[in-house]
Structure 1
Amino acid sequence: MKRRTFMKGAAALAAGAMAPAGAMTLDRWRRLRRFVATPYGRIAVVEQGRGPAAALFLHGFPLSSFQWRDAVAALSAHRRCIAPDFMALGFTEPAPGQAVDADAQVAMLAHLLDTLDVRQADVIANDSGGAVAQLLTVRHPDRVRSLLLTNCDTEPDCPPPALKPVIDLSRTGRFVDEWLLPSVLDHRLARTKEGLGGQCYAHPGSPTDEAIDAYLAPLTASPARQALVHAYALALERNILQGIAPALKRARQPVRVIWGTADDIFSAATPAYLEQAFGNGRGVRRLAGYKLFWPEERPDVVVEEALALWGVSA
């Protein structure tokens, strides 16, 4: 998967646009993690904060809830923050034979909210998690109070053409061994131009060693885990958002979008599409120079936009 050399936004990055690192360490995240028993398996969940209002964080592929660590830490003063790992990713342990496609993920999330006694949540999502968030919004509208979307699938771009090599390798059972395992064995590879960092992050130091361990090590741990990752990727081949446009237009939840404009995984036309896609859209903010997984590098923007959407003073 070839990627353009990152150029735009270099000045902003050099000026220190990234949030300070280290607000939430991997060790602390591990200590916060617990497993919630459901019919779908043991769902790995990190919770922080208390109160009647909840926020649900949905991560990208092949990441885990650790993607949201610093945003969760900051927003826990305002919401009961709930960050699960999707089935097949992170540390969640799906039940034997459990499907891991988007439909199953939506059903799992609805059940998880019931189990956690959460009637409604403000949803924040990225990448394939954004597609799941859109499905959750239209299938369980009473569960979603608001929606903060970052770079993610849309009906016209689901899956994006850039995902085809991942799907093809997963079909032959080679994606994990050829794309993920080398970065687990040598973290520097993840930060090369052709690695996860070069493709999906703006800053040359991303992803950190801790993030690589959190995201990729569990996915390479056993043949069974690798098979689940391949199943997740293969489930992305179908346009899971086909026909969703009318329902999104009817939805009354406020929806705010923040888009990293240097993302070359999803279509550059997506921000313009999203500006008119929702019945209660609150506009699109464009982040020059940032790529697909910008929420990990700019948790400050996630926090700022979430509080504004929720009508909460910082």
Structure 2
Amino acid sequence: MPSTLEKLDQHRSRLQTRSGPVSCVDTGGSGRPALFVHGLGTSSYLWRHVIAQLGGETRCVAIDLPLHGQTPAASDQDFSLPGLATFLADCCDALELTGIDLVANDTGGAVAQAFAAGHPERLRTLSLTNCEAHNNLPPKTLLPSVLLARAGIFARIAPRLLGGDNPKARKRFYGSGYQDVAKLPDTLARAWLDPLFGTAESARQFQRFLTSLHARDLLAIEPDLARLQVPTLIIWGTGDPNFGRKWAYWLRDLIPGATDVVEIDGARLFFPDEHAAELTAALREHWAAHP
């Protein structure tokens, strides 16, 4: 029987966009399109259980950001938030997506905020799970890695700690993002880690990725977010050490289209994987309220 990853890959293709090639999952169909955006260190596989539960209800599209999953990154790829928002817009153009239900997690949530601020007319709804907001970029838990990256050291030491067959890599990189990291299959952890740390060049690219993310880019879009009327749902895991629950309510109070916060008790950063049923139920209700 095919695994959840194999089932997802049955819908995978590679597209050419103005920002470069992108690997994406697209279940197709005539339903309203939902676009799923992951964050640092994961991929479109993060959404595998959500997409499986949605079945044929909606057209599910999940992209791999540059350097992540099966999407390569050019040597001069723009990893800044504005650059990644442009990448997302170019993916939508290539897929001819309009009236989008945008769903995002982690740094993908920051990218989604930048995209929504610049392209509100392309969205039907927005759903943000635990992610950066305001000046919480990088979050304190990521700051040591960012400081090492800025010093040019991260790319030298990270492959030894996280690359190859290191049995502790899964816990080191994903331990704080899962309530029970043992539920993250080793094969999936390696599918996420190898594109980042599998070679010296990919480690240098990921180091550059880390140094390209700045709070100033989030702060710059706040005036646009403060005018955003797109119906917005905030779905937040309350046990996340990276993005505390106060940020959920900060986003709700900033975005005029945001009317509700759904809390998932004890859930951490990567709860779209661990709590897919609760997330899917919240998304269904949100989408049904905005047909």
Q: Which amino acid aligns with 2:73?
A: P
Q: How does 1:211-290 map to 2 (within 5 A)?
A: 211-290=188-267
| Corresponding residue number in structure 2 for 1:198 | 175
Q: Which amino acid aligns with 1:263?
A: D
TM-score with structure 1 length normalisation? Answer: 0.84
| Corresponding residue number in structure 1 for 2:161 | 182
Q: Which runs of 5+ in 2 are unaligned?
A: none
SS for the counterpart of 1:156 is coil
Q: Deviations over 1:255-288 (max 9, x none)?
A: 1111111111124421331331211113111122
Distance in 2 between residues matched to 1:243 and 1:237, nearest whole Å: 10
User: Structure 1 pair 24/308, CA: closer, same or farther in 2 (3 Å)?
Assistant: farther
- Comparing 93-102 with 170-179, greater Cα deviation is found at 170-179
Q: Which amino acid aligns with 1:243?
A: A
| Corresponding residue number in structure 1 for 2:148 | 169
Q: Deviations over 1:195-235 (max 9, x none)?
A: 23321110141322122022111222323322221121111
Q: Which amino acid aligns with 2:248?
A: P
User: Structure 1 pair 148/187, CA: closer, same or farther in 2 (3 Å)?
Assistant: farther
- Comparing 125-134 with 260-269, greater Cα deviation is found at 260-269
User: Structure 1 pair 271/38, CA: closer, same or farther in 2 (3 Å)?
Assistant: closer
Q: Does 1:106 align with 2:85?
A: yes
Distance in 1 between residues matched to 2:187 and 2:167, nearest whole Å: 12
- Comparing 252-261 with 45-54, greater Cα deviation is found at 45-54
Distance in 1 between residues matched to 2:264 and 2:210, nearest whole Å: 27
SS for the counterpart of 1:275 is helix
> Is contact 2:67–2:195 with CA below 8 Å preserved after alignment?
no
> Is contact 1:26–1:210 with CA below 8 Å preserved after alignment?
no
Q: Does 1:26 align with 2:8?
A: no
Q: Deviations over 1:266-314 (max 9, x none)?
A: 24421331331211113111122111111111111221111111107xx
Q: Deviations over 1:177-209 (max 9, x none)?
A: 5446534444641454xx233211101413221
Q: Which runs of 5+ in 1 are unaligned?
A: 1-21
User: Structure 1 pair 60/183, CA: closer, same or farther in 2 (3 Å)?
Assistant: same
Distance in 1 between residues matched to 2:78 and 2:94, nearest whole Å: 20
Greater percentage in helix? 2
Q: Deviations over 1:35-67 (max 9, x none)?
A: 101232210111114114111101011111111
| Corresponding residue number in structure 1 for 2:48 | 69
User: Structure 1 pair 176/189, CA: closer, same or farther in 2 (3 Å)?
Assistant: farther
Q: Which amino acid aligns with 1:273?
A: W
Distance in 1 between residues matched to 2:77 and 2:163, nearest whole Å: 26
| Corresponding residue number in structure 1 for 2:122 | 143
User: Structure 1 pair 187/69, CA: closer, same or farther in 2 (3 Å)?
Assistant: farther
> Is contact 1:41–1:92 with CA below 8 Å preserved after alignment?
no
> Is contact 1:50–1:76 with CA below 8 Å preserved after alignment?
no
SS for the counterpart of 2:141 is helix
> Is contact 2:178–2:271 with CA below 8 Å preserved after alignment?
yes
User: Structure 1 pair 169/33, CA: closer, same or farther in 2 (3 Å)?
Assistant: farther
Q: Does 1:119 align with 2:98?
A: yes
SS for the counterpart of 2:188 is helix
User: Structure 1 pair 88/172, CA: closer, same or farther in 2 (3 Å)?
Assistant: farther
> Is contact 1:45–1:82 with CA below 8 Å preserved after alignment?
yes
> Is contact 2:38–2:104 with CA below 8 Å preserved after alignment?
yes
| Corresponding residue number in structure 2 for 1:154 | 133
| Residue of 50, 59, 68 corresponding to 1:89 | 68
| Corresponding residue number in structure 2 for 1:291 | 268
Distance in 2 between residues matched to 1:232 and 1:244, nearest whole Å: 20
Q: Which amino acid aligns with 1:247?
A: D
User: Structure 1 pair 63/116, CA: closer, same or farther in 2 (3 Å)?
Assistant: same
TM-score with structure 2 length normalisation? Answer: 0.91
- Comparing 302-311 with 89-98, greater Cα deviation is found at 89-98
Q: Which amino acid aligns with 1:167?
A: V
SS for the counterpart of 2:219 is coil
CA RMSD for the aligned pairs?
2.3
Q: Per-residue deviation at 1:239?
A: 3.0
SS for the counterpart of 2:239 is coil
| Corresponding residue number in structure 1 for 2:22 | 43
> Is contact 1:183–1:212 with CA below 8 Å preserved after alignment?
no
| Residue of 182, 185, 191 corresponding to 1:208 | 185
